[in-house]
């Protein structure tokens, strides 16, 4: 008995040590945040590099220390412990504070960028390295965004889903596309005096990529790159998207490439359970997202008619559209509500209710795809983990407990339902389309 007592003390001790290490890590993150806030006051102006190290450096270092402690503390596996008991992840006051702070950041970013002047100057050195020019608010935003995806993506790979190769590879892909295609390449293009272009965003998400104005501009750009960009955009929208979705479902984009999904699946991961699973939410979702898609299709068509009939259809309205829509959808929806409300409404609000690309991919996925989530026979115990952790608010359990496969337009194929299921009931699969919806036998007669 004596012996066991000792063992236990040791056990608690090592747990305590790790607990302390984790706290130390989080403390460093806090300290880094403090420096970041201090930088806003202008303290960083004379020594921007020092402040980048003090803020982002400490935050990164602290985060990795806490990842290390968490790895040591628990064996690999799903550990959603206390998620619905902590203020931060269960819509408590901490969540509201964070939500207000992030929303505030977006409002300042879009409407009062001057307030961010000191931060922008702080990241100047990075901008100079990349494109040999001063930073602006969008560079600052892109930089923060990418850092968030990289740090929190590392958490997914090193800690939370380290038992799941699907999650590890998928997260690495998100990190790669964000860093390379949504951050580095556009700024390198800028350095080379090439048009501003994102190779991983296409019409209808980047609705203006197929507007006559943009196409004309790109085509008239000296050098072949502009022509290639028009070609690339059209091929991605009309050829690559349907083909890839046919084989893999919309996940090839939403969970492997897209930066919005990327942020949701990394920085947003602690909040994915907050999505609304009700039938009412599903109805609202369908109404909204397809309206946005229709709106963009109609507008694009009108703009082309307008340009063919040289302005006689719409007059100067097209510019007006760009502005209003860009504001309503681009700023309000995808930024302020889409990200600012993570801690309140969950991570994929924009992807679910507002993204026209998701709408397009969703139609393809529902009707023209080999993808489905297979339910493993009668193994579901209706526990509800899958539905709770579905960021798209899909009531996965509804299908699983009936032994039905899940074929839903909105499913982004993040694979988390499959990961959290304690009975191994769900599997994301691409396969023959016969019986894709049907009970028990997706593949086997």
Partner 1 sequence: MDHLVIIGNGISGVTAARTVRKTSKMKITIISGETDHFFSRTALMYIYMGHMKYEHTKPYEDWFWEKNGINLIKGWVEKIDTDNKYVEMKDGRIINWSKLLLATGSQPNKFGWPGQDLPGVQGFYSLQDLELMEQNTAGIDHAIIVGGGLIGIEVAEMLHSRNIPVTFLVRENNFWDIILPEEEAKMINREIVEHGIDLRLATELKEILPDKNGRVRAVVTDKDEEISCGFVALTVGVHPNISLVKNSKIETGRGVLVNDFLETSVPDVYAAGDCAEIIVPGEARNRIEQLWYTGRMQGESVGKTIAGKRTKYERGIWFNSAKFLDLEYQTYGFVSNIPLESENSFYWEHENGKHALRIVYKKENRAVTGINVFGIRMRHKVCENWIRERRPLEYVLTHLRDANFDPEFFKRHEQAVIDHYNKKNPQNKLQLRRRRLPAGLFSE
Which residues are paired to 428 by β-bridges? 373
Candidate list 357, 361, 364, 400; residue touching ligand SF4; CB under 6 A: 400
Helix or strand (DSSP H, E) at 130: helix 124-131
The reply on whether position 163 binds ligand SF4 by CB under 6 A is no
Q: Say if CB 225 and CB 185 are below 8 A apart.
A: no
Q: Which is nearer to partner 1, 54 or 364 (CB)?
A: 364
| Closest distance to ligand SF4 from the beta carbon of 421 (Å) | 3
Q: Which of partner 1, ligand SF4, none does residue 416 bind (CB under 5 to 8 Å by kind)?
A: ligand SF4
- Count of CB atoms situated within 10 Å of the CB of 134: 12
Q: Of 183, 158, 171, nearest to 251 (Cα)?
A: 171
Counting contacts by CB under 6 A, is residue 419 touching ligand SF4?
no
Would you tell me how many other CB atoms lie within 10 Å of the CB of residue 54?
Answer: 20
Site for ligand SF4 in 336-395 (CB under 6 A): 373, 380-386, 390-392, 394
The DSSP secondary structure of 175-240, one letter per residue, reads HHHIIIIIIIHHHHHHHTT-----TT--TTTTGGGGSHHHHHHHHHSSSTHHHHHHHHHHHIIIII
What secondary structure letter does DSSP report for 406?
B
Contact track, partner 1, 161-200, x by CB under 8 A = --xxxx-xx-------------------------------
Q: Which residue has the tokens 């919005």?
A: 260
Half-sphere exposure (Cβ direction) of 307: Cα atoms closer than 13 Å: 14
Exposure string of 149-176, with b = 16+ CB inside 10 Å and e = fewer, is: bbbbbbbbbbbbbbebebbbebbebbbe
Closest separation between CB of residue 161 and partner 1, Å?
11
Residues 6+ apart with CB under 8 A from 138: none
Please list every residue from 416 through 435 that binds partner 1, using CB under 8 A: 418-420, 422-424, 427-432
Residue 386 interacts with which of partner 1, ligand SF4, none, CB < 5 to 8 Å by class: ligand SF4
Task: Note whether 411 binds ligand SF4 by CB under 6 A.
Answer: yes
Which CB atom, from 136 or from 404, has the smaller least distance to ligand SF4? 404
Cβ proximity to partner 1: between 84 and 327 the closer is 84
Give the footprint of partner 1 on residues 64-103 (CB under 8 A). 75-86
User: What is the binding site for partner 1 (CB under 8 A)?
Assistant: 1, 4, 7-8, 11-12, 15, 75-86, 163-166, 168-169, 247-248, 278-279, 370, 374, 376-379, 381-385, 387-388, 397-398, 401, 415, 418-420, 422-424, 427-432, 440-441, 443-444
User: What is the binding site for ligand SF4 (CB under 6 A)?
Assistant: 373, 380-386, 390-392, 394, 396-397, 400-401, 406, 411-417, 421, 423, 425-426
């Amino acid at each position: 008995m004596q012996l066991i007592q000792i063992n236990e003390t040791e056990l608690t001790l090592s747990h305590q040590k790790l607990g302390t290490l984790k706290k130390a890590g989080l403390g460093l993150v806090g300290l880094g945040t403090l420096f970041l806030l201090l930088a806003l006051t202008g303290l960083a102006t004379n020594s921007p590099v020092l402040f980048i190290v003090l803020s982002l450096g400490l935050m990164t270092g602290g985060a990795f220390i806490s990842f290390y402690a968490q790895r040591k503390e628990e064996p690999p596996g799903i550990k959603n412990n206390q998620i619905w008991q902590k203020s931060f992840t269960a819509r408590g006051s901490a969540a509201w504070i964070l939500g207000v702070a992030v929303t505030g950041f977006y409002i300042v970013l879009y409407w009062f960028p001057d307030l961010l002047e000191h931060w922008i100057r702080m990241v100047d050195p990075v901008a100079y390295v990349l494109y040999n020019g001063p930073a602006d608010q969008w560079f600052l935003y892109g930089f923060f965004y990418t850092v968030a995806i990289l740090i929190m993506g590392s958490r997914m790979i090193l800690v939370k889903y380290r038992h799941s190769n699907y999650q590890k590879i998928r997260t690495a892909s998100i990190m790669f596309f964000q860093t390379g295609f949504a951050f580095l390449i556009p700024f390198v293009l800028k350095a080379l005096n090439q048009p501003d272009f994102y190779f991983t965003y296409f019409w209808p998400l980047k609705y203006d990529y197929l507007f006559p104005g943009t196409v004309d501009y790109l085509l008239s750009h000296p050098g072949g790159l502009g022509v290639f960009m028009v070609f690339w955009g059209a091929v991605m929208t009309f050829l690559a998207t349907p083909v890839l979705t046919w084989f893999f479902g919309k996940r090839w984009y939403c969970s492997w490439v897209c930066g919005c999904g990327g942020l949701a699946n990394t920085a947003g991961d602690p909040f994915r359970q907050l999505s609304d699973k009700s039938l009412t939410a599903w109805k609202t979702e369908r109404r909204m997202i397809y309206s946005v898609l229709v709106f963009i299709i109609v507008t694009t068509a009108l703009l082309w008619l307008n340009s063919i009939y040289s302005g006689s259809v719409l007059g100067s309205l097209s510019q007006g559209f760009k502005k209003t829509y860009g504001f309503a959808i681009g700023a309000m929806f995808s930024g302020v509500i889409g990200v600012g409300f993570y801690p309140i409404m969950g991570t994929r609000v924009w992807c679910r209710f507002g993204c026209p690309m998701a709408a397009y991919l969703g139609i393809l996925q529902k009707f023209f795809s080999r993808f489905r989530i297979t339910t493993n026979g009668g193994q579901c115990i209706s526990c509800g983990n899958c539905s709770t952790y579905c960021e798209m608010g899909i009531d996965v359990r509804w299908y699983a407990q009936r032994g039905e496969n899940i074929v839903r337009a909105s499913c982004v194929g993040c694979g988390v339902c499959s990961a959290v299921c304690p009975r191994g009931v769900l599997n994301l699969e691409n396969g023959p389309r016969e019986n894709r919806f049907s009970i028990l036998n997706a593949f086997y007669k």
